[in-house]
Structure 1
Amino acid sequence: MELRHLRYFVAVAEERHFGRAAARLHIAQPPLSQQIRRFEAELGEPLLYRTTRSVELSPAGAVMLERGREILAAVDSALEDARRAARGEYGRLAIGFTGSSTYALLPALAAALREELPGVMLDLRGELLTPAQVAQLLDGTLDLGLLRPPVHVRELCTEVLLSEPLLAVLPNTHRLATASAVPLEALKDEPFVTYPSHFRSVVHDAVEDACAAHGFKPVAAHEVAETATLVSFVAAGLGVSLVPASVSNMTVQGAIYRPLAHDSTFVELAAAWRRDDQRPVLNNALDVIRRAIARHAP
């Protein structure tokens, strides 16, 4: 059975008239009649009862009309989905977020992606350190990562999306909690809650570099992988910490954020994806993310 035969039959069955069906299909009436007879011969049953004045459906024709409409609708839907996929409007994307960007950017980016790419199924995964994202990008678990560079992996492309300063996060009972800005050297004798050193956290290294520039090495009282846990530990009075500015979008009772005085340490946020992934849906998502970050960057 050819799809064109089915389309011809449905047109005749709906119009109940060969002339009107031919006009609807933009073909001549004799070839239309010939194709319908060929369709009936292939089926081995009449689909239409013809008289000089009318065209009526046979029992087989009534069933074929119902099923034919369903088949043609499914075919048209599949064709449209294929076209949307080719335009990058349809598909699936798994996107990872580094912990310190989860609370500031994930909600805004998720909203922007769903608004501009409603046909794309999103799998959004927060609280992933850069090494974990790199591993998942390489094995195909993630399609796109929002992580802290640098990333020295040839198979991945990276693009810096924003740069943000470090902030001090303190218990709200801390002696410097009311200061307009915190001198970093004033924290040299404080216990620090840090990101883990053994997972090669980029923010961990940035904090150590910032403290070294102010003459001390932070004493890590606790190492935690999740940003929410880190800020909660600070709120509980277990130490102080330095975090990227975007973390200040996460409110934890008992913790307070303060800018650093006389410190120019910045950390970057970058998009990363597989170099050989040229899918339009990925390119469209990157465009949406670039625009959304420009609007919502801290």
Structure 2
Amino acid sequence: MDLRQLRYFVTVAEERHFGRAADRLRMAQPPLSQSIRRLEVDLGVELLHRTTRRVELTDAGRSYLVRARTILADVDDAAHEARRVAAGSVGHLAIGCVGSATYSLLPPLSSHLAAELPGVDFSFRGEMLAPDQMEALRTGAIDVALLRPTVADPSLTVVPLRRDRLVVALPAVHELAGHREVRVTDLRQADLIVHSAGQRSVMYGVVLGLFRDAGIDVHVRHEVGETSTLITLVAGGLGVAIVPEPVTALALDGVAYRPLVSPAATVDLAVAHRSDRTEPHLARTVDIVRRIV
């Protein structure tokens, strides 16, 4: 028994006539009749009652027709699903985002992904520090990461996306909020709020490097793990923060953003995934991310 025999049987059962079925299948009638006979022999039952004018289904034939149609439909569905998988149109992906990307990129990204890959089930994790994202990629907890690049890892493919400028988030009542721009040296006496979570944040190293290069001491008042918490503390007047420019999408009353003037006042953004991941829907997702960013 093979799928061709099932298709032949279904066609004959629908036409109730070998001649019309042969025309529909674009084949000669004798081999069609022989194929149905072989099917009946293999099954050990008579499926069709033949007369000189018509073909009628036996009780066994009516029952077999229902199952044959189901089998053929499942086979067609499987082929369609395989083609969709090969085209990267179906699957599941978890995407992790660094804090600034959570607010500036996640809204348009999620919209584009839903429109261009409607068959892919996406989930998102925001406010992830880069080291946590890299570990989550290695373990499979997430599949794609929007992160600030750290030390190179040969097990991960990291594709640069853009370089973001740094800005200073200030309480709106701070004296520097009246300036058009802020220099690192202007923050000599400022209380800083920084990303840290155990000093594993990329931004923690960037901020401390800016002060070190300027030759001034840094006064860290608060260390936080989430960008939203950091900006909330700035709004509360507890200090100032140096953040990537996309964080300005997180607009809170009581916070003013000013450009930071420094030769090193930038930080990179990249998209990353495990190097051994080659699924088409993952590759299409990375392409969409690169195009949007």
Secondary structure (helix, strand or coil) at the match of 1:134 reads helix
Q: Distance in 2 between matches of 1:197 and 1:88?
A: 36
Alignment correspondent of 2:290: 290
Q: How many residues align?
A: 293
Give the corresponding residue for 1:66: 66
Name the structure 1 match of 2:24.
Answer: 24
Shift of 1:96: 1.3
- Seq. identity, %: 47
Q: Residue 82 and residue 262 in structure 1: after superposition, are their counterparts in 2 closer, same or farther (change >3 A)?
A: same
Q: Which amino acid aligns with 1:84?
A: R
Q: Deviations over 1:171-226 (max 9, x none)?
A: 22222324322233222212111101624211111111223333423322111111
Post-superposition Cα deviations, 1:34-78, rounded to whole Å, max 9, x if no partner, equal: 111222233333322322222222233223222222221111111
Other-structure match for 1:271: 271
In structure 2, give the amino acid aligned to 1:288: I
Residue of structure 2 equivalent to 1:259: 259
Which residue in 2 is equivalent to 1:46? 46
The Cα RMSD (Å) is: 1.9
Cα gap change, 1:233/1:39 in structure 2, threshold over 3 Å: closer, same or farther? same
Q: Give a deviation string over 1:253-275, Cα, whole Å, max 9, x none.
A: 33222212455411001112222
Mapped partners of 1:217, 1:3: distance in 2 = 77
Greater shift, 240-249 or 258-267, is seen at: 258-267
Contact 1:98 1:147 in 2 (8 A): yes
Find the aligned partners of 2:19 and 2:230 in 1 and give their Cα distance: 76
Q: Over residues 90-140 of structure 1, what are the superposed CA-to-partner deviations in whole Å (9 max), with x where a residue is unaligned? A: 222222111221111112222222222222222222111111111111122
Stretches of structure 2 that go unaligned for 5 or more consecutive residues are: none
SS in 2 for 1:166: strand
Secondary structure at the counterpart of residue 52 of structure 2 = coil
Structure 1 counterpart of 2:171: 171
Residue type matched to 1:102 in 2?
A: T
C-alpha distance in structure 1 between counterparts of 2:114 and 2:106, whole Å: 12
Answer whether contact 2:130 2:150 (CA < 8 A) is retained. no
Q: Is the 1:210–1:263 contact (alpha carbons within 8 Å) kept by the matching residues of 2?
A: no
Query: Kindly tell me: are residues 63 and 199 of structure 1, through their superposed partners in 2, closer, same or farther at Cα, counting changes over 3 Å?
Result: farther
CA–CA distance in structure 1, aligned partners of residues 180 and 13 of structure 2: 79
Q: Say which SS state the counterpart of residue 177 (structure 1) adopts.
A: helix
Q: What SS does the aligned partner of 1:176 have?
A: helix
Q: Which residue of 1 aligns with 2:185?
A: 185
Question: Could you tell me whether the CA contact under 8 Å between 1:47 and 1:58 is conserved in 2?
Answer: yes
CA distance in 2, matches of 1:235, 1:86: 49
Q: Which moved more, 1:210-219 or 1:242-251?
A: 210-219
Q: Match for residue 134 of structure 1?
A: 134
Corresponding residue for residue 230 of structure 2: 230
Alpha-carbon distance change, 217 to 20 in structure 1, aligned in 2, over 3 angstroms: farther
Q: What amino acid is aligned across from residue 200 of structure 2 in structure 1?
A: R
Q: 1:36 to 1:262 in 2, by over 3 A?
A: same
| Per-residue deviation, residues 10-29 of structure 1 (Å, max 9, x unmatched) | 11122222222222223221
The separation in 2 between residues aligned to 1:122 and 1:252, in whole angstroms, is: 29
What amino acid maps onto 2:195 in structure 1?
A: Y
Within 5 Å, which residues of 2 pair with 1:141-160?
A: 141-160=141-160
Q: Helix, strand or coil for the counterpart of 2:175?
A: coil
1:209 is matched with: 209
Question: AA paired with 1:168?
Answer: V
TM-score by length of 1: 0.91
Contact 1:151–1:158 under 8 Å retained in 2: no
Tell me the equivalent position of 1:245: 245
Question: Amino acid of the residue matched to residue 8 of structure 1?
Answer: Y
Change (3 A) 1:55 1:178: farther
The letter of the residue matching 1:101 is A
Name stretches of at least 5 consecutive residues in structure 1 with no aligned partner.
294-298
Partner of 2:7: 7
Query: What's the TM-score once normalised by structure 2's chain length?
Result: 0.92
Q: CA deviation at 1:242?
A: 0.9
